[in-house]
Amino acid sequence: MVQVSKKVLLTGGAGFIGSHTYVELIAAGYDVTILDNFENARRDVPDRLAQITQKTTKLIECDIRAEAHVEAAFRGQGFDAVVHFAARKSIAEGETDPLGYHQTNCNGLVNIVAAMQTHGVKAIVFSSSAAIYGSPDQMPIGEDTPPAPQNAYAWTKLFGEEFLDRMRRADPALKTGILRYFNPVGAHASGLIGEDPSQPPANLVPIIARVASGDLAELTVLGDDYPTPDGTGVRDYIHIGDLARGHVLSLDALLGQGRSHLVNLGTGRGYSVMEVLRSYAEVSGRAIPHRIVPRRSGDAATSFAQTRRAREILGFEAEHDLRSMCDSNWRFICQRDTVTV
């Protein structure tokens, strides 16, 4: 069993996935400190987390690209593990700024692991991505599917996995949890935290939400000529609460069993862009105007997870359906913007 004294550094903990994982870690009895530079997160997130957990949010403001600052963040803290989210994640932005993506996602991870080594921290959960699979022909996508990254973002995530694997082989005491997850959607039941990037969103549901709330005139659908039932891209969407719980289970396995692992986190089924659009329109009661444009280069037609390994190793299984994902996101948007439901 995991002891309540376990101290965890949560990098990128003010972001979408990080903040929800913080809540789940606190509920599971972990002592968590967030490290974030707020480049793509709201400054009031730590206060919102304190409201949810009824605990003061421990925070270190730090940029993972600054090696000396990262090392200083570890000094005297006695962390037992790191859960590493801090990264840049836009596929389109990564193509225009590959240098920036490698500096943050690759060099930043190296700085974190160097500080772990200096301070004797021997467990890390790494936020990877299903993007490393590219566009495989066989579905569902299992962990043994050969990586075929098609963009700079995906390459940086594959680098992270391979770097951690090399570190683990060099130091058998290091335990790693590699989580390749699919498309997180939704928000916390409190409505206090959700997907709320400080930069323009690139993911489907936050864009649909902006259309529903009137901040955007229409949704741009990237292609309707894929070999899918309605011609639009199909993705495995997973509720953010389920995904956060998966990170707790991963950390439990590292600290409680000393068991390194690499698993997919998804639901095991896909939803098309139009299915998501219709579900969001239903829960919001709003029309979602949309316009079809040509496909985006590098996008796969279909992508959904084989989830057996996560179930066998971590005991993980997603619990929420698409409607629940859309409904929780809309309620977060309404509470944030005082939109009438």
Active site residues: 153
- Both tokens of residue 86? 């801090």
- Which residues are CB-neighbours of 4 under 8 A, at least 6 positions away? 29, 30, 31
Backbone angles phi, psi at 127, to 5 degrees: -80, 100
Nearest Cα to Cα of residue 125 among 264, 2, 250: 250
The whole-angstrom separation of Cα 273 and Cα 276 is 5
Q: Name the nearest CA neighbour of 32 among 64, 61, 4.
A: 4
Distances (CA, A) of 279 to 187, 209, 269, 332: 16, 12, 16, 16
- Tell the residue number behind the tokens 């996508």, with chain if given: 141
Q: Give the CA count within 13 Å in the CB-facing half-sphere of 225.
A: 5
* Amino acid (1-letter code) at residue 282: E
Helix (H, G, I), strand (E, B) or coil at 61: strand
Q: Strand 175-181 and strand 58-61: pairing?
A: unpaired
Cα gap 216→203, rounded to integer Å: 14
Whole-angstrom distance, CA of residue 294 vs CA of residue 311:
37
For 290, the token pair is 């949309």
Q: Count CB atoms within 10 A of the CB of residue 99.
A: 8
CB atoms within 10 A of CB 139: 17
Question: From CA 71, how far away is CA 114, in angstroms rounded?
Answer: 8
User: Which is it for the CA torsion 290, 295, 297, 298, positive or negative?
Assistant: positive
How many helices (H) and strands (E) the chain has is answered by 12, 14
